[in-house]
Structure 1
Amino acid sequence: MRLLVTGGTGFIGQHLIKKRLAAGDSIVCWSRDPAKVHDLFGQKVEAIRDLPEKDELQIDAIVNLAGEPIADKRWSFERKQLLRASRIDLTHQLVEWVKAQDQKPEVLVSGSAIGFYGCHSSDVQLGENSAVSPGFTHDLCADWETEAIRLEEDGVRVCLLRTGVVLGHGGALSKMLLPFKLGLGGPIASGQQWMSWIHIEDEVEVIEMLLTHQHLQGAFNLTAPEAVPNRVFTGCLAKALKRPAFLPMPAFVIDLMLGEGAELLVQGQRVYPEKLLEIGYQFKYPELQPALNAIVR
């Protein structure tokens, strides 16, 4: 397969590219920093700063993972605009480029997030067809998905990745480890908010499945079947690290750090991978404690 990847230098992108290289794929990575692509993968991956002219790049499939990190900085007006541009504007540019090609890829697997459902305080499990709670994260993800879906009218199969917190060496977990290793970890705010997570190995395997199974399309929740409250998550992480977890982080501290973006940590969603389970996908890590144990051992 000749595969075009955006966001290839990110946490998920790096794992996906390495696995697809091992499978024999030819990879093209569209990146604003081609030097970083070559630092990570050498000359095994072709790095491009700009999409080429019509029909110069013959590809079989696209995985679109680009997007600025959503919880790294306080949400100012400018930050929110950047979050939108790095996802929606880039996807728009990608879709317009595909539309201009005579030979189109068979499939676009495009990023989204469980933020599509907004923030829910209830214990209701959210499948792909569940009701949403309006707000910035829903609008961001919905508009992002809408751009990608436009390729369906050109005969391209489109799959959408509504991804939860991805756990592995790096990514979100790397920011949590230090305080826990120092014995300073603990739940965030009330600790009752739901955390929907997925192990990086399952994340990559699902993306590969969506690339290669021609009957699959639409939105998929990429979360393990066992979402947990934040208090349970911190307890499992502490157990894996053999450290205590009794110092909670108050909600007002998160508010000071992230502003409106604090909702990502102090609220939550209990997201359920309904469609993946319906088609028979078997998670390598369906439960949290074994997933964390495998990562930190």
Structure 2
Amino acid sequence: MKILISGASGLIGKALAGHLVSSGHRVGRLVRRPPRGEGEFEWDPAAGRLDPRVVAGHDAVVNLSGSPLRARPWTRSSREQLYSSRVASTRTLAGAINQLENPPKVFISQSGSGIYGDRGDEVVTEASAAGSSPVMADVCRRWEEAALQASCPTIVTRTGVVLTPHGGALPRLLLPLRLGLGGPLGTGRQWWPWITLADEVRALAFLLESGLSGPVNVCAPVPAQVDQLVSVLAAELHRPSMLRVPQQVLTTVLPGLAENIILASQRMVPERLEAAGFEFGQANVHDAARWVHEELGRHN
């Protein structure tokens, strides 16, 4: 397949591009600067500029654009960036697709588990209603609405916390654990819909040829509460995990991020992905912890 990726320089994008190339696919990358080599194409998603001829001829488009969720308070400016970096880029891609006489066979656009809001212990599938709060539910709703305007079969991937020791949220969690200073966040009873980077990449590649459309939850089939996730990671690293970070501290130090990401509970399951036949490499937190430990050893 010939596949065009936005956000190819990000954590998931780099891994996905490498996986696809090694599997024999041709990968094009959208960049916000002048192209530096074959397979790079310039675009300006904030201004809505993307030449439809760049998209033409590709069998699939994968949209992974979006500013990272950093460990800092959410100011008005950072909230605006959350919206614009996701919604504007998706509208730009959908707009270019809609100008083509022969659009791609599939458009995969990233979304997030945040669409469900804070659901406590409720098990959520793709059939569950979207949440009304906090902020990320609205961000994801608008993100998906923009993607579903594309005139081709469209999959919106509702991805959870992607575990890898090489980027994203996990290194911030691993550092205090490796120093013996880590522990659960808040009550620890909130559910995190996690997935390893290896399975995230394999799932996206699988979806390219799955024939599915609409929302797909991309997370491990065995959800875990933060208490369990932290304790299993700590045990794999042979470190204690006793120092709990109180909820009030998190909401004071990281307003916005704490309520929307760290403390929100989404007991999400990948109902449609499993029904389509996808097989996970790391299906539970014990498998994930071993994979993380192996990755750490491989790069040390």
Provide the TM-score with structure 2 as the length reference: 0.90
Q: 1:125 to 1:80 in 2, by over 3 A?
A: same
Q: 1:233 to 1:56 in 2, by over 3 A?
A: closer
> 1:163: which partner in 2?
159
Equivalent residues of 2:50, 2:92 under 8 A apart: no
2:166 is aligned with 1:172: no
2:74 is aligned with 1:75: yes
Query: Aligned Cα RMSD in Å?
Result: 1.8
The aligned runs of 1:243-258 (5 Å cut-off) are 243-258=239-254
> 1:144: which partner in 2?
143
2:257 is aligned with 1:261: yes
Report the Cα distance in structure 2 between the residues aligned to 1:281 and 1:161, rounded to whole angstroms. Answer: 14
> 2:201: which partner in 1?
204
Q: How far apart are 1:52 and its partner, in Å?
A: 5.1
Q: How far apart are 1:208 and its partner, in Å?
A: 0.9
Q: 1:65 to 1:52 in 2, by over 3 A?
A: closer
Q: How far apart are 1:113 and its partner, in Å?
A: 0.5
> 1:89: which partner in 2?
88
Instruction: Structure 2: state its 5+ residue gaps.
Output: 295-300
The aligned runs of 1:1-297 (5 Å cut-off) are 1-33=1-33, 43=37, 45-50=39-44, 53-57=51-55, 58-121=57-120, 123-135=121-133, 136-151=135-150, 154=151, 156-170=152-166, 171-213=168-210, 215-263=211-259, 264-297=261-294
Counterpart residue type for residue 233 of structure 1: L
Q: 1:104 to 1:132 in 2, by over 3 A?
A: closer
**Structure 1 SS opposite 2:204:** helix
Report the Cα distance in structure 1 between the residues aligned to 2:137 and 2:116, rounded to whole angstroms. Answer: 6
Q: How far apart are 1:47 and its partner, in Å?
A: 4.6
Counterpart residue type for residue 286 of structure 2: Q
Report the Cα distance in structure 2 between the residues aligned to 1:34 and 1:174, rounded to whole angstroms. Answer: 32
| 1:188-229 CA distance string (max 9 Å, x none) | 01111111101112111111111112x211111111111111
Report the Cα distance in structure 2 between the residues aligned to 1:25 and 1:218, rounded to whole angstroms. Answer: 24
**Structure 1 SS opposite 2:109:** strand
**Structure 2 SS opposite 1:21:** helix
Q: How far apart are 1:53 and its partner, in Å?
A: 3.2
Q: How far apart are 1:71 and its partner, in Å?
A: 4.1
Q: How far apart are 1:133 and its partner, in Å?
A: 2.6
Equivalent residues of 1:109, 1:161 under 8 A apart: yes
Report the Cα distance in structure 2 between the residues aligned to 1:274 and 1:78, rounded to whole angstroms. Answer: 36
Counterpart residue type for residue 129 of structure 1: A
Report the Cα distance in structure 2 between the residues aligned to 1:289 and 1:21, rounded to whole angstroms. Answer: 30
| 1:116-158 CA distance string (max 9 Å, x none) | 101122x12101111333122111111100111111xx2x110
Q: 1:279 to 1:103 in 2, by over 3 A?
A: closer
Report the Cα distance in structure 1 between the residues aligned to 2:144 and 2:177, rounded to whole angstroms. Answer: 36
Equivalent residues of 1:191, 1:230 under 8 A apart: yes
Report the Cα distance in structure 2 between the residues aligned to 1:52 and 1:93, rounded to whole angstroms. Answer: 7
* Structure with greater proportional helix content: 1
**Structure 1 SS opposite 2:61:** strand
| 1:44-99 CA distance string (max 9 Å, x none) | 74253456534355321100001011243311111111100000011111111111
Counterpart residue type for residue 87 of structure 1: R
Q: 1:52 to 1:162 in 2, by over 3 A?
A: closer
Structure 1 stretches (4+) deviating beyond 3 angstroms? 49-54
**Structure 2 SS opposite 1:5:** strand
Provide the TM-score with structure 1 as the length reference: 0.91
Report the Cα distance in structure 2 between the residues aligned to 1:133 and 1:262, rounded to whole angstroms. Answer: 17
| 1:151-178 CA distance string (max 9 Å, x none) | 1xx2x11011000011123222122111
Instruction: Structure 1: state its 5+ residue gaps.
Output: none
> 2:297: which partner in 1?
none
Q: How far apart are 1:256 and its partner, in Å?
A: 2.7
Equivalent residues of 1:227, 1:272 under 8 A apart: yes
How many equivalent residue pairs? 286
Equivalent residues of 2:206, 2:278 under 8 A apart: no
Report the Cα distance in structure 1 between the residues aligned to 2:202 and 2:80, rounded to whole angstroms. Answer: 32
Q: 1:163 to 1:253 in 2, by over 3 A?
A: same
